[in-house]
């Protein structure tokens, strides 16, 4: 397929297909319904399986089954539906199963609304289910990047045998942008000797399970996961930098909001303020390394901008660790700030104190 105009939600689906995913289980919810809509048409064309489950709880557990059988499998939803999937995510991690989950976030809490938001950051990054676990989280900012990160997501999931969440918002899901679909995508996926596909002549059985009754054995399983998470922290931090080399003030934002914030940095430079942007691409592992770098350069203060009450703010504060003031500007509930209002907030930031500010 050549360069084409595509909706973000369609790109989640097409990106998955190009990554070799042939199994989707999901349930419609605005603003991500075009993901199942698109895959309902496309997956059968590729010899894949599309199944509309009876609920999000069923979707994630069907994904568990397909993952246990060695398939590259996708489910997607929006905020309230993702809440329903949290138990299943914990089981997927406990069973060390690869799976990709797309969350096109909307305004919460509760039923909230269908407007774009980033209020599920904590849930995605800190873990919304039970147990000591981590899910890798990728945050694309454009429709083209969705295509690219869907492939990354499936690769990381298989490499680490862990679920990966791709976190977008209503803007990203609904907007159309040109995408280049070069090449054919992936034709083969890694072999999975652990998958439950019958004994294949072996005398031992593969068992996929998260039950670990003996505390010492469960502790060992947890420490094995911890070891995996440390490797991920060391090797998988990804971020984008924009004009950071001489920047005195660093704006930090993820997803589509980072694009608004880039426009703020441009406008600030027009007005003589040396501003730059760090856009975390992996939200977990959080790209601490990006902050080490800019602190060594010229960064005197940070301004975190989010579509929530200040969630990623905490990870930025942990990365900066008191060495520089970290300010915050957020619009919760489905409201997206304008370039002008972020610019006003930027001008109020101080190099002396951060005041512990939230909204």
Residue in the structure block whose two tokens are 């997803």: 255
* Cβ 226 to other proteins shortest distance, Å: 39
Within residues 258-297, the interface with other proteins by CB under 8 A covers 259-260, 262-263, 266
Which x/- pattern, by CB under 8 A, does the window 24-63 give for other proteins?
Answer: ------xx--------------------------------
Asked if residue 170 binds other proteins (CB under 8 A), the reply is: yes
Tokens of 269: 């430079």
Give the residue, chosen from 83, 123, 256, 311, that forms a contact with other proteins under the rule CB under 8 A. 256
By CB under 8 A, tell whether 240 contacts other proteins: no
Report in angstroms the alpha-carbon separations of 326 from 155, 301, 336.
Answer: 34, 6, 21
Choice from 109, 178, 198, 356 touching other proteins (CB under 8 A): 178
Strand 136-138 and strand 282-284: the pairing is antiparallel
One character per residue 323-352, x = contact with other proteins (rule: CB under 8 A): -------------x-xxx------------
Instruction: Name every residue whose Cβ is closer than 8 Å to that of residue 353 and which is 6 or more positions away in sequence.
Output: 325
CB of 339 vs other proteins, minimal distance in Å: 7
* Helix and strand numbers, DSSP H then E, in the chain: 13, 14
Note whether 247 binds other proteins by CB under 8 A: no
Q: List Cβ neighbours of 125 (8 Å cut-off, separation of 6 or more).
A: 137, 283, 284, 286, 311, 312, 315
Our finding on whether 148 is near other proteins (CB under 8 A) is no
Choice between 3 and 41, CB closer to other proteins? 3
CA distance 19 to 153: 9
Which of residues 156 and 171 has its CB atom nearest to other proteins in the complex?
Answer: 171
CB of 49 or CB of 339, closer to other proteins: 339
Strands 275-280 and 239-242 come out as antiparallel
Q: Binding of other proteins at residue 83 (CB under 8 A)? A: no
CA distance 317 to 320: 5
Token pair 């939200």 in the structure block, residue: 283
Q: CB 256 → other proteins: shortest distance, Å?
A: 7
The one among 5, 46, 207, 223 contacting other proteins by CB under 8 A? 5
Which CB sits closer to other proteins, 114 or 232? Answer: 114
* CA dist., res. 330 & res. 306, Å (int): 5
106 sits in the region (left: phi over 0; alpha: psi -120 to 50; else beta) called beta
Residues in the interface with other proteins (CB under 8 A) total: 24
State the nearest-atom distance from the C-beta of 345 to other proteins, in Å: 16
Helix segments in the chain, DSSP class H = 8-18, 34-45, 56-68, 79-84, 86-94, 121-122, 143-160, 170-174, 215-235, 257-270, 288-296, 312-320, 339-348
Closer residue to other proteins in complex, CB, 262/274: 262
Hunting for tokens 């490797």 — which residue is that?
A: 231
Min separation Cβ 178 and other proteins, Å = 5
Query: Using CB under 8 A, which residues numbered 90 to 119 contact other proteins?
Result: 113-115
**In whole angstroms, what is the distance from residue 9 CA to residue 170 CA?**
9
Q: Which stretch binds other proteins (CB under 8 A): 160-168, 173-181, 222-230, 244-252?
A: 173-181
Residue closer to other proteins (CB basis): 178 or 356: 178
78 vs 162 by CB, closer to other proteins: 78
Q: Name the residues that contact other proteins, by CB under 8 A.
A: 3, 5, 30-31, 113-115, 170-171, 174-178, 256, 259-260, 262-263, 266, 336, 338-340
């Amino acid at each position: 397929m050549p360069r084409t105009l595509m909706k973000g939600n369609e790109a989640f689906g097409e990106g998955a297909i190009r990554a070799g995913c042939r199994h989707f289980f999901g349930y419609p919810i605005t603003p991500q319904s075009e993901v199942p809509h698109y895959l309902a048409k496309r997956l059968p064309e590729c010899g894949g399986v599309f199944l509309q489950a009876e609920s999000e709880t069923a979707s994630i557990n069907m994904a568990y089954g397909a993952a246990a059988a060695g398939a590259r499998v996708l489910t997607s939803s929006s905020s309230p539906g993702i809440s329903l999937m949290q138990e299943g995510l914990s089981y997927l991690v406990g069973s060390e199963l690869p799976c990709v989950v797309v969350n096109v976030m909307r305004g919460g809490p509760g039923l909230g609304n269908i407007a774009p938001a980033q209020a599920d950051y904590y849930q995605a990054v800190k873990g919304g289910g039970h147990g000591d676990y981590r899910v890798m989280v990728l945050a694309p900012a454009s429709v083209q990047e969705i295509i690219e990160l869907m492939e990354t997501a499936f690769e990381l999931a298989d490499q680490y045998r862990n679920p990966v969440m791709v976190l977008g918002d209503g803007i990203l899901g609904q907007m159309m942008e040109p995408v280049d679909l070069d090449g054919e995508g992936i034709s083969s996926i890694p072999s999975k000797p652990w998958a439950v596909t019958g004994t294949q002549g072996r005398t031992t059985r593969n068992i996929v399970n998260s039950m670990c009754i003996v505390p010492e054995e469960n502790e060992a399983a947890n420490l094995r996961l911890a070891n995996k998470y440390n490797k991920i922290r060391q090797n998988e931090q990804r971020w984008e930098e924009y004009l950071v080399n001489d920047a005195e003030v660093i704006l930090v934002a993820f997803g589509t909001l980072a694009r608004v914030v880039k426009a703020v940095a441009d406008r600030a430079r027009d007005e003589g303020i040396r501003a730059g942007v760090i856009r975390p691409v992996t939200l977990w592992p959080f790209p601490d390394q990006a902050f080490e770098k800019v602190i060594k350069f010229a960064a005197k203060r940070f301004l975190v901008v989010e579509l929530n009450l200040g969630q990623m703010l905490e990870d930025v504060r942990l990365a900066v660790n008191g060495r520089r003031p970290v300010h915050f500007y957020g619009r919760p509930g489905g409201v997206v700030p304008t370039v002008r209002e972020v610019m006003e907030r930027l001008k109020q930031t101080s190099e002396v104190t951060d005041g512990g500010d939230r909204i």
